[in-house]
Amino acid sequence: MSHNAESTAFRSALEVIRAVEPRVADAISAELADQRESLKLIASENYASPATLLAMGNWFSDKYAEGTVGRRFYAGCQNVDTVESLAAEHAKELFGAAHAYAQPHSGIDANLVAFWAILADRVESPALKKAQVRQVNDLTEADWFALRRELGNQRMLGMSLDAGGHLTHGFRPNISGKMFDQRSYGTDPTTGLIDYDRVAEAAREFRPLILVAGYSAYPRKVNFRIMREIADSVGATFMVDMAHFAGLVAGKVFTGDFDPVPHAHIVTTTTHKSLRGPRGGLVLCGPELADQVDRGCPMVLGGPLPHVMAAKAVALAEARRPDFADYARRIVDNAQALADGLLRRGATLVTGGTDNHLVLIDVSGYGLTGRQAEQALLDSGIVTNRNAVPQDPNGAWYTSGIRIGTPALTTRGLGATEMDATAELIHTVLTQTTAGTGPDGAPSKAKYVLDPATAESVGKQAADLLTPFPLYPEVDLT
């Protein structure tokens, strides 16, 4: 039994939880065991440090803190002010931003704050001016009608979901697709790359209020200088959602034209994924939007989560250390090694490779849907997620792709040799899996056939691959 501080802290916490609801304590312990034994290749997941995790389990959870630093609607928030200020300070220094807002609970919340800040700043309507200078209760029904009509009639141009964009960039079932008159830009059907001339053409034709860049499944860099030029050419506000690659920006892997912060009017991000912090969001902007962004609560958000802001401050402080830049570089090195390993084995990759932390495999070449491939890999101890590919014939549910990423395995210390071995395991599973049939004998998009012996063998090889790279070695729960 280890007696270091981390082991003592987590063991003690589980003992306290177990005294009240042992099934929760058991689930927490089981989750650590599962993560230790699986090849985690989900591009949007990572492993936060023990310090970050512990910063979330404390008395800050008991505080209401609507408002902003120094301007709260509840008394007794001086300590919340401290941690929120620290989170914002670290974010500004880390990303070179003029202003940072650390309250969003998630990436979608950060995007909603950004959308409404842009609308409030840009839309010129009598009703909106009244809302900004008078109490909301003073607005008449006619004012509200005019305001809703004005705000709901704005245009947004964002990356399409099948090209690698995110559902919060105007996907119809999402609130962003209901707030805006939205149009999407895709990628070149031959290369899978963004065609900036076509984006510019779409912007000239559509004249959006907001041009959104950023992605959840695009395996290449984006030239934000060019995107800003396109936005300026049509008078649009340029917004970047860097949730997936924030760690690569923080680690100075993406610089110059590929760093969104100097080019965008407003930038949103999550604080987990490649940034390796707690689940939450951030908004970065210049002084011209700062006042509107700081109205995120109560404009969009409910009460902030002070315990998560404390964890954000810890994680952002960690990201400012020199070793984080090395970590960010190794994420990309590993992704490229993984892509090379798959290509050598005959896999088809969207865009033919990667510049960032993720790889998108088109599994139709294996005769599978994304859903079949995802489950077969999971049976074999490899955790991925299915994802649409450009012009996906199987749609967003079954998909034709598997998205894999390297932030988590890089945190564990795996390198290029292990990435090649991982490519071999993935290729083995996909080549040994066949599409199944439904009850009527027709081909199924969900059912699949994989010899359990193959799944067991790959699972054992995956576990052996991870053995030299223990997860949370400083945490012993026994």
Written as six digits, the tokens of 295 are 């109205």
In a domain? residue 132: no
Residue 163 confidence (pLDDT)? 81
Does 327 lie in the same domain as 304? no
In a domain? residue 338: yes
Written as six digits, the tokens of 395 are 């749609």
Task: Give SS3 for 349.
Answer: strand
Helices 416-432, 452-466: crossing angle, 10 deg rounding: 170
Residue 1 confidence (pLDDT)? 62
Last residue of a domain, one of 259, 292, 319: 319
Does 189 lie in the same domain as 298? yes
In a domain? residue 461: yes
Q: Per residue of the chain (478 residues), what is the pLDDT tens digit?
A: 667 999 999 999 999 999 999 999 999 999 999 999 999 999 999 999 999 999 999 999 999 999 999 999 899 999 999 999 999 999 999 999 999 999 999 999 999 999 989 988 776 555 556 555 555 456 677 766 776 666 666 889 999 888 878 877 777 677 777 778 889 999 999 999 999 999 999 999 999 999 999 999 999 999 999 999 999 999 999 999 999 999 999 999 999 999 999 999 999 999 999 999 999 999 999 999 999 999 898 888 888 999 999 999 999 999 999 999 999 999 999 999 999 999 999 999 999 999 999 999 999 999 999 999 999 999 999 999 999 999 899 998 999 999 999 999 999 999 999 999 999 999 999 999 999 988 888 889 999 999 999 999 999 999 999 999 999 999 999 8
Does 338 lie in the same domain as 220? no
Give the residue numbers annotated as catalytic, written as ranges. 64, 66, 241, 270, 273, 279
Residues 6+ apart with CB under 8 A from 205: none
* Domains in the chain, number: 2
DSSP string of 276-318?
Answer: ---S-EEEEE-HHHHHHHTTHHHHT--S--HHHHHHHHHHHHH
In a domain? residue 328: yes
Residues 6+ apart with CB under 8 A from 178: 172
Does 333 lie in the same domain as 246? no
Separation between Cα atoms, residue 476 and residue 37, nearest integer Å? 15
Last residue of a domain, one of 303, 319, 335: 319
DSSP-assigned letter for residue 166: -
State how beta strands 210-214 and 155-159 pair: parallel
Does 350 lie in the same domain as 289? no
In a domain? residue 472: no
Does 382 lie in the same domain as 238? no
In a domain? residue 53: no
In a domain? residue 134: no
In a domain? residue 474: no
CA distances for 424 relative to 143, 253, 433, 450, angstroms: 62, 27, 14, 16
Look up residue 87 and give its amino acid. Answer: A
Look up residue 467 and give its amino acid. Answer: T
Q: What is the CATH number of the domain that holds 388?
A: 3.90.1150.10
Domain boundaries, position 411: 322-466
